[in-house]
Amino acid sequence: MGFNGQVVLVTGGTGSFGNAFVRTLLKNHTPKKVIVFSRDEFKQVEMERAFFTEFPKLTERLRFFLGDVRDKNRLLTALHGVDILVHAAALKQVPTLEYNPFEAVKTNIIGAENLISAAIDRGVKSVIALSTDKAVNPINLYGATKLCMEKLFVSGNAYAAERPTRFSVVRYGNVVGSRGSVIPFFLEKKKSGTIPVTHQEMTRFWITLEQGVAFVIKSLSLMQGSEVFVPKIPSMRIMDLVKAIAPKARVNVVGIRPGEKLHETLLTQDEARHALEYPDQFIIHPPTIPGKRIPWPKGGKALRTNFVYDSNTNDQWLTINQLKTLVASDS
């Protein structure tokens, strides 16, 4: 699916992903309109000022809509005439959500339900939601709410029935340039000469904002409804990141925080039985949707028995020099 002549709405549009996604649409495509939907009026004012300065000739195609995904009526109003919906709104700070669980449920789960119902009612053609590796075998509330969100979006295709709305999910790892990234935290701690590390053997999947945006755009072009798209991305070792940022700093091992894993997983053994591998991604077709199965994109191959895609057994690793480059681009 292309964006030319389409009306696109992004929930959580003032976040790191939303900013990058909207900028890419305005620079590289010709949508009829792009709607930024978010609940923070100050961030909207800041984004509006920055974008209207950067794209003065495109301001008639950019709109800002104040609202919350917890409010279904507001979503119904915002989605009028929308063709493509990218759902990036979420509460995502793991330690915070461990102590504010009901707020996470209201936004990440009830908000997803509201969005699905509103999108079907308004006849939105393509809806894609952003998920995370923390939704796989979750051990924290954030991951559990995102897993539930994934299930709701996949099942949304059954609710849509013969209506035109189709739902899919993109699932990827930690985003290098996102708000709350470990890079600015380590850079700040570098000044003290001591870097706090939760566990020296910790690994994580990493993807840049630009790669995340490109993968979402590609997934929108491929989706037919119910797929979970997983990119092939590199892993990084936390101690390599420390060496890239502050090689002379003292390391203080503080222990794994509540709800934190040593390694992350993007594709489980059970999911692998319903997935195909492509040169740059995996596509999962959940087996729980009734009715006719959608065709696979050409070129995929079955995964081997017992295949698991996790950050500590990945075959792609970021080197210290590559991490230095990422740090420089993020700081």
Contact, 124 vs 83, CB < 8 A? yes
Give the integer Cα–Cα distance in Å for 319 and 331. 18
For helices 111-122 and 141-160, give the axis angle rounded to 10 degrees.
20
**DSSP for residue 103:** H
User: Which one from 92, 134, 189, 261 is the annotated catalytic residue?
Assistant: 134
Give me the residue label for tokens 């050409």: 298
Which pair of tokens denotes residue 124?
Answer: 């939105």
DSSP state of 5: T
Strand bridging mode 203-207 / 174-175: parallel
With a CB cutoff of 8 Å and minimum separation 6, the contacts of 186 are: 195, 241, 242, 245, 246
Residue where the block lists tokens 């092939």: 232
SS3 277: strand
Residue 134 catalytic? yes
Catalytic positions, written as ranges: 134
